[in-house]
Structure 1
Amino acid sequence: MSENLRLDGRTCDQLRPITFEPGIAPNATGSVLVSFGNTRVICAATIEKRVPGWMNAQGVEGGWITAEYSMLPYSTLDRKQRDSSRGKVDGRTVEIQRLIGRSMRAVVDLKKLPGMTLWIDCDVLQADGGTRTASISGACVAAKLAIKRLMADGVLAEDPMPNTVAAVSVGIWQDLEVLDLPYVEDRDADVDFNVVMTSIGEFVEVQGTGEEATFTQAQLDGLLALAKKGILEISESQAAALV
């Protein structure tokens, strides 16, 4: 499989160039500009010293993490209208921000964020496939940077996030099992998956579908193995950005 070359010259099991640039938004508690190839997302984590009303009403201890996601109007080839102009948030946006929130809460001990909400804002500057997976991977780095700052300032007594989380896309494109699909591959893929995993190799979420196609058990196993390989590599890049 690794001998097959794709449109951008990568092998089937090769990630796009991935970078994490911390400190992109100084007013946030922690922030990073993450790039998966030509997909670029600003991820910012901001602490708020209160929790959602439902937690107080139900007597739930600890804190909370929630996420917001948006694609800036100039992030795509054709201008994307802002949700504020449309008067509502579209279904895709809601789905993605809920996914980001679930992914972050999977690796954070919320009881160690007493009375606090960690807001994760992901704003897509440039979209070339995999914006949700880049957002999750960047959100994790932004959150870790925020936690490090809160611990240094004495706001948090201990680290509530011992492991990290990352995500990547995999799919079947031109009968090949490929990792980290850019837009042109994602558009034409027969099967498309988004996989979220922790740095210790545990699954958080698997989203997969055949695009007017089917896939076998062997292909499913191959795609999950490919995703795990990619996510472990992303986890190493995250760790390097946090040193």
Structure 2
Amino acid sequence: MTEELTRSFGRAASEMRPVTLTPDVMKNADGSCLVEFGDTRVLCSATVEEGVPNWRKGSHAGWVTAEYAMLPASTNRRTPREHRGRKGRSMEIERLIGRSLRAVTRLDRLGEITITLDCDVIQADGGTRTASITGAWVALHQALLGRVEAGRLPRLPLTGRVAAVSAGVVGGIALLDLDYPEDSHAEVDLNLVGTASGDIVEVQGTGERACFDRAQLDALLDLGQEGVARLAELQAQVTGFKL
């Protein structure tokens, strides 16, 4: 990428795409959120079910897990529906989403319930996993708040807000929140999951077309933490949860 080329939405290297979090978009879900990172749109829903997986029974603690899918028309060519047993990339993303949400959830205060976060990509333009984590937290908050208001939990079992954003090196320039054209040409690709308090939950960084040094890694982490902070503030605005 040269300096003459412009980014989508006319943004600078350190700017994110326009982000919108719209909660309570599904009637039958215990919690839901439509998350938009520019042209990437993901529908996140939370479902609460009594009971936990067999390996967790008797623990007196709950479980938070996730499922992720790309809808067939979410990309410019139809994406075939995935079936159980053939979910390589999606399974990796599901596990990432689940780990991220569990990082800010007091499972020992849930009781033996399972909360499943379904993240369905309606439209993909880069950053679907990071958008999913950010929107799934809003859906999770809604579901847990509903149980508090119904008297089924004494207080919200959340220790904070968690969000995620991508960063990368494209044409030698460190960029925040890559869209698909940038991501597909990135020399270095990184996803950062973090909390509103500045803690890091997970870093996924790869030299796609070139190795990268410590200075580049530090620059990408700085960009990523700035992005996570902005997303966490937006989460606070739409939910009222400030912790």
Structure 2 CA distance, aligned partners of 1:152 and 1:5?
Answer: 51
> 1:90 Cα deviation (Å)?
2.3
2:170 to 155, 170, 173: 173
Structure 2 CA distance, aligned partners of 1:38 and 1:211?
Answer: 23
What is the match of residue 60 of structure 1?
59
Structure 1 CA distance, aligned partners of 2:5 and 2:197?
Answer: 30
What is the match of residue 38 of structure 2?
37
Give me the identity figure in percent.
50
2:144 to 134, 144, 147: 147
Structure 1 CA distance, aligned partners of 2:209 and 2:185?
Answer: 11
What is the match of residue 162 of structure 1?
159
> 1:162 Cα deviation (Å)?
2.7
What is the match of residue 192 of structure 2?
195
What is the match of residue 26 of structure 2?
25
What is the match of residue 237 of structure 1?
234
CA deviation vs aligned residue, 1:215-242 (integer Å, no higher than 9, x gap): 1111111100000001000001111111
Structure 2 CA distance, aligned partners of 1:73 and 1:81?
Answer: 6
Amino acid at match of 1:173: V
> 1:164 Cα deviation (Å)?
0.7
Q: Is the 8 A contact 2:186 2:209 kept in 1?
A: no
2:101 to 101, 104, 115: 104
2:183 aligned with 1:182:
no
Structure 2 CA distance, aligned partners of 1:156 and 1:76?
Answer: 40
Secondary structure of 1:83's aligned partner: coil
More deviation, 63-72/3-12:
3-12
More deviation, 154-163/168-177:
154-163
Q: Is the 8 A contact 1:4 1:12 kept in 2?
A: no
> 1:148 Cα deviation (Å)?
1.0
Give the 3 Å change call, closer, same or farther, for CA 22–82 of structure 1 in structure 2.
same
Structure 2 CA distance, aligned partners of 1:4 and 1:107?
Answer: 42
Structure 2 CA distance, aligned partners of 1:42 and 1:146?
Answer: 15
Structure 1 CA distance, aligned partners of 2:5 and 2:192?
Answer: 23
Structure 2 CA distance, aligned partners of 1:4 and 1:219?
Answer: 22
2:58 aligned with 1:79:
no
Structure 2 CA distance, aligned partners of 1:77 and 1:4?
Answer: 27
> 1:4 Cα deviation (Å)?
8.4
CA deviation vs aligned residue, 1:143-178 (integer Å, no higher than 9, x gap): 011111110011111111130100000000111100
Structure 2 CA distance, aligned partners of 1:117 and 1:186?
Answer: 34
What RMSD in Å do the two structures reach over aligned CA positions? 1.3
Equivalences, count? 237
Amino acid at match of 1:60: S
Amino acid at match of 1:218: A
What is the match of residue 86 of structure 2?
89
Runs of 5+ consecutive residues of structure 2 not aligned to the other structure: none
Structure 2 CA distance, aligned partners of 1:4 and 1:134?
Answer: 28
1:212 to 200, 209, 212: 209
Secondary structure of 1:238's aligned partner: helix
